[in-house]
Amino acid sequence: MLHYKTHILSPSHEWVVFLHGLGGNSNIWYKQVKDFKKEFNLLFIDLKGHGGSVDYKPELLKYTSEGIAEDVVNVLDFLSIEKAHFAGISLGSVVLHGLHIHAPHRIKSMVLGGAIIRFTKMAKMLLKTGDMIKGLVPYMWLYKLFAWILMPKKHHKLSRNLFIQEAKKLRRKEFIRWYKFASTVPEIYPLVDTEKNVIPKIYIMGSQDYMFIGPVKEDTVKDTAATVHVIEKCGHVCNIEKHDEFNQVALNFINGRVQLEEKKAPVPKPVRRYVTI
């Protein structure tokens, strides 16, 4: 099973499950813990080859959205979590779209930060270049290059450095497998059925997330259950760089869904009590 960490308020509180991006692990959510644990049970999962799941078995030559979704569902089953709210950042948003396709009945709502749903021409060129040289240079050189391209500004430094630091724990073979999986991203979002499986979702994007904000704004228009929130002067890893706004927007969204579900819940019939005199 994938490695995970939890913060539990009580069995009656709802769950929020957090999924990290490529090269990261559950540590990248450290700026969410304090605010979220006040209201929800929290589950942080390390995906294959990342963090505590670095020695995950069995090893697979190819990663698919279905297989990755199954890994997450196995953790939910082990913890007896029937349904939860989810938050994903960067490649974690792709994993969430995979869950939307293969296990929609396990999702109450989705928060997708720095979401990746389609590649721009520049992103395609970058991926193609990386594919050509990934076998010739140390993978960390490639990862650092991508980090600088995605997060080039001075105020992106904290999130950029954290992602580079955590990626050092990722082994080369895992980086290659996830890199190949990343190339399948454009095939995943079109399979998300937003009409049959209506799942409330919010995309939280930094205005300076040049690679990915355009496709998110354009491609989610037809999803009536989706909204897009743009954080000004913010880069790709918005849950770190502008964590206060990210947390407020995400918590307001999730709490809104919780309140709606409570209103929809059937009102129990009053119990008629008889008093014998």
- pLDDT > 50? residue 277: no
* Segment 121-177, tens digit of pLDDT: 888 887 788 777 777 777 787 778 888 888 888 888 888 887 788 777 777 888 888
- pLDDT > 50? residue 3: yes
CA dihedral 249, 254, 255, 258 (to 10 degrees): 160
Reported confidence tier of residue 253, pLDDT bands at 50, 70, 90: very high
- Name the residue among 141, 139, 168 with its Cα closest to residue 25: 168
* Segment 80-112, tens digit of pLDDT: 999 999 999 999 999 999 999 999 999 999 999
* Segment 201-243, tens digit of pLDDT: 999 999 999 999 999 999 999 999 999 999 999 999 999 999 9
CATH superfamily for 4-262 is Alpha/Beta hydrolase fold, catalytic domain (3.40.50.1820)
Between CA 277 and CA 270 the distance in angstroms is 22
* Segment 49-84, tens digit of pLDDT: 888 888 777 677 788 999 999 999 999 999 999 999
- Name the residue among 49, 114, 54, 101 with its Cα closest to residue 73: 101
Pairing of strands 4-7, 15-19: unpaired
Between CA 116 and CA 94 the distance in angstroms is 6
Between CA 56 and CA 46 the distance in angstroms is 10
Decide if 201 contacts 223 (C-beta within 8 A): yes
Axis crossing angle, helix 172-182 with helix 121-133, rounded to the nearest 10: 150
Q: Residue holding tokens 């450095």?
A: 161
* Segment 16-56, tens digit of pLDDT: 999 998 888 898 999 999 999 999 999 999 998 888 888 77
